[in-house]
Structure 1
Amino acid sequence: MSAENKEVVRRFNIEVIQNGDRSTFEALMAPDFINHAAPQGMPNGPDSMWSTFEKVLRPALSNLTVTIHDQIAEGDKVTTRKTISGVHTGTLLGVPATGREVAISVIDIVRVEHGRYAEHWGLNTLSNVLSSLSNLEPVR
């Protein structure tokens, strides 16, 4: 079961986050999915995940790539250490494009149920990236 769950998470990272494939997203998300990493007061269902990628990251980062460094599976949970990277060519949470390469480090835990994302917890360095970008001059 661990290998199958790791493959679900790998597919999500590459096909959904990196490639923006909505049909894979729909196939891999449980309808009652809970995103425990959603900001307080924000929706925490499946659309909270899709919005993060399609309304925040994808418009701001060209050449978006997900690199999985480690995956550890135990029971129904998969922990992944990864980097989401790209070129900052659009506004990212209010920070205008700088043309700089960015790398967001992420560690997340996903509970997989029947081959679908049931719950998600995560930590990332997006706030550090935003802080460093807001102090830079755009690349000319």
Structure 2
Amino acid sequence: MLNALEVFTTVVFGVMVGVEFSVAFVINRILDALPGDSGQLGRAHGGRMLGAVMPVWYIASLVLVVVWAVAGRHRHGTGLAVAAGVLLLVSVIMSVLLLVPINNRGKTWTPENRPEDWKEQTNRWDRLHHVRVAVLIAAFALLVAALA
């Protein structure tokens, strides 16, 4: 049963990391290359859509990692799972304190109501998101190593 939990957790968390990586290095680059206001409108829509889904995914992933660490506390690799959980928690805290406030503003922007510094705010979100993705990749690597 623990093996199934470990695999399920790794898949759920791994797909989430893939989505975040894709947003950082594929989707946002595509949106930024669109003409006119299309990119900003696409980012606003993505902020609304992913802003609704990602909190649930992050918390579910964190809960799964905690359950894995508790259930497997006497097994080899549990320390790595705990370290992965700590990094995932860091990414959640970072999200709530730094990224969500920018996203909450950006998801309401239209070409008519966006602030003058909207590009600077978008660039700040991108930089912070890149750091978050790096933290998530490190956590995922630790989780995979815990399986070995």
- TM-score between both structures, scaled by the size of structure 1: 0.33
Structure (1 or 2) with the larger CA radius of gyration: 2
Point out which structure has higher relative CO (alpha carbons under 8 A, 6+ apart): 2
More helix by share: 2
